[in-house]
């Protein structure tokens, strides 16, 4: 059982002892710390916070705890109930709220849940803000409202429709162009809120939808991380239905993966590549992804005459770099699309609409589109952490070992070789070192990862 407190929020497994797992006590303390920080940060007498959750089994319990805690602080709540991460993100500024909380553990299995924290722009908090909240948690320093000053709760179930309308109103989305193509798409909503939101968008675009695991029961039918080894059912279904492609999202709908018409993975890393290809073809500019994302985005950006930069891993870091560079699209190689015209957050609905526009205008099959992009293969492995491991020391040693290569230590250690790369970093959400590699073949990527893991284990003596 695990509880991870970080600058990006609190994430843990349900049940067990307080401060070791995500228990009701931990949920209340962290919500109280966020509310207390928000009152100080805003300087306002009366605050409003938007709350939404994915469909996981513990969601309603955690939601009740968080809402009641904020009400106890005198904060008004706009309760979206079942929602998605990007839906809450767009709701915060539309409601002129002071912040937001999304109750989701993203791609983690059903025993996990989390509180993701937003500012008044509907964007994730930065490191300094997150650190202040952690300090309030540790100090146990809360000042709750008196009975006459308690907050009020307003329920709003309109935001799935509002979100869809926001996507359809984007300047590069032409609903008539998509409708004319009469696409057929299979959707795997992993029995969470993507099973509501994605079909709603597709149906508004006259796309024929074949639903697979789209009931928001919270009983995930497979591991909810949208990776190839978890997606056999939809790969088979796309071929059986003779669909144009398949769409897979994670439980909170900020990650997006496609299945090609032949039942093969389009590649989660290539979601951003395809969407950027469409956007850059219409509005040339710069792009940003994180250090663990594919070189293919850089290649496509350069092809369109733009410039590319990499940011440290983490959505807030990518967003910061995008703002600095005035990037017109960016995101993360895990299928996260950030399109500033909509909002500065990963959004599978926005990514779906941009991909549909690309396919409608370019023609051909999704498999043919994938074959047209630079071909890279990625290996994503990990080393389990133990208390005695000096992780920072290990990464420092690896940096020194490869200091004559093109190397970066802004986020772990990224070594760029001529034909491939490796990125080593501590995870923000799990007790592991992530080892990501990319090369021109899968065997080369796997081999490089195994080589680096072996070197680390030798250094660590394990």
pLDDT at 389: 76
pLDDT at 428: 63
- Provide the β-strand partners of residue 380: 436
- Provide the β-strand partners of residue 118: 100, 124
Helix pair 24-42, 59-72: axis angle to 10 deg: 40
Average pLDDT, rounded, for the chain: 95
Q: What gap in Å lies between CA 163 and CA 87, rounded to an integer? A: 6
Q: What gap in Å lies between CA 320 and CA 322, rounded to an integer? A: 5
Tens of pLDDT, residue by residue over 332-347, are 988 999 999 999 999 9
Structural domains in the chain, CATH included, are 3-157 (3.40.120.10), 162-371 (3.40.120.10), 377-460 (3.30.310.50)
Chain-centre distance of CA 269, in angstroms?
A: 13
Tens of pLDDT, residue by residue over 198-254, are 999 999 999 999 999 999 999 999 999 988 899 999 999 999 999 999 999 999 999
Residue 264: which residues within 8 A CB-CB, separation 6 or more? 235, 367, 370
- Catalytic residue selected from 8, 83, 106, 292: 106
Tens of pLDDT, residue by residue over 105-162, are 999 999 999 999 999 999 999 989 999 999 999 998 899 999 999 999 999 999 999 9
pLDDT at 1: 57
Residue 316: which residues within 8 A CB-CB, separation 6 or more? 8, 123, 124, 125, 126, 127
Tens of pLDDT, residue by residue over 7-50, are 778 999 999 999 999 999 999 999 999 999 999 999 898 999 99
- Residue 461 confidence class, pLDDT cut points 50, 70, 90: confident
How does strand 406-408 pair with strand 3-6? unpaired
Chain-centre distance of CA 283, in angstroms?
A: 25
Is 106 part of the annotated catalytic residue set?
A: yes
Tens of pLDDT, residue by residue over 45-94, are 899 999 999 999 999 999 999 999 999 999 999 999 999 999 999 999 99
Tens of pLDDT, residue by residue over 376-408, are 999 989 888 777 778 888 899 999 999 999 999
Tens of pLDDT, residue by residue over 292-343, are 999 999 999 999 999 999 999 889 999 999 999 999 999 998 899 999 999 9
Residue 158: which residues within 8 A CB-CB, separation 6 or more? none
- Residue 429 confidence class, pLDDT cut points 50, 70, 90: low
- Size of the chain, expressed as the number of residues it contains: 462
pLDDT at 60: 98
Contacts of range 371-375, beta carbons closer than 8 Å, 24 or more positions apart: 373/270, 373/273, 373/274, 373/277, 373/296, 373/300, 374/295, 374/296, 374/299, 374/300, 375/440
- Residue 431 confidence class, pLDDT cut points 50, 70, 90: low
């Amino acid at each position: 059982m695990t509880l991870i407190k970080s600058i990006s929020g609190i994430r843990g497994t349900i049940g067990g002892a307080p401060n070791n797992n995500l228990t009701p006590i931990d949920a209340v303390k962290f919500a109280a710390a966020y509310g207390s920080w928000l009152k100080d940060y805003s300087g306002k007498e009366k605050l409003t916070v938007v709350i939404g959750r994915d469909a996981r089994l513990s969601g309603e319990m955690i939601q009740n705890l968080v809402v009641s805690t904020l009400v106890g602080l005198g904060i008004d709540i706009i309760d979206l109930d079942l929602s998605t991460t990007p839906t809450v993100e767009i709701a915060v500024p539309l409601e002129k709220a002071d912040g937001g909380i999304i109750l989701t553990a993203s791609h983690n299995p059903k025993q996990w849940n989390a509180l993701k924290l937003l500012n008044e722009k509907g964007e994730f908090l930065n490191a300094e803000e997150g650190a202040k909240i952690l300090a309030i948690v540790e100090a146990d320093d809360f000042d709750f409202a008196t009975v006459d000053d308690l907050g009020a709760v307003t329920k709003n179930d309109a935001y799935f429709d509002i979100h869809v309308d926001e996507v359809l109103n984007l300047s590069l989305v032409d609903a008539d162009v998509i409708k004319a193509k009469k696409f057929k798409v299979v959707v795997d909503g992993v029995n969470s809120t993507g099973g509501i939101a994605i079909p709603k968008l597709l149906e508004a675009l006259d796309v024929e939808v074949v639903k697979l695991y789209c009931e928001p029961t919270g009983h995930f039918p497979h591991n909810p991380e949208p990776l190839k080894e978890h997606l056999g059912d939809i790969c088979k279904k796309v071929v059986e239905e003779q669909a144009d492609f398949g769409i897979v999202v994670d439980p909170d709908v900020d990650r997006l993966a496609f299945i090609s018409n032949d039942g093969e993975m389009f590649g989660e890393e290539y979601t951003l590549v395809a969407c950027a290809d469409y956007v850059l073809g219409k509005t040339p500019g710069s792009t940003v992804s994180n250090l663990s994302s594919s070189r293919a985005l850089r290649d496509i950006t350069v092809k369109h005459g733009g410039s590319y930069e990499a940011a440290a891993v983490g959505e807030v870091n990518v967003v910061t770099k995008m703002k600095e560079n005035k990037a017109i699209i960016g995101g993360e190689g895990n299928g996260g699309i950030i399109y500033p015209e909509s909002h500065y957050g990963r959004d599978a609905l926005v990514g779906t609409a941009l991909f549909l526009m690309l396919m409608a205008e370019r023609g051909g099959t999704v498999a043919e589109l994938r074959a047209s992009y630079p071909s890279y293969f990625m290996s994503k492995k990990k080393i389990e952490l133990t208390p005695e491991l000096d992780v920072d020391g290990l990464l420092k040693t690896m940096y020194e070992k490869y200091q004559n290569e093109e190397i970066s230590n802004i986020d772990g250690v990224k070594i760029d070789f001529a034909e491939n790369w490796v990125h080593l970093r501590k995870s923000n959400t799990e007790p592991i070192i992530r080892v990501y590699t990319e090369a021109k073949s899968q065997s080369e990527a796997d081999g490089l990862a195994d080589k680096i893991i072996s070197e680390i284990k030798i250094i660590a003596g394990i």
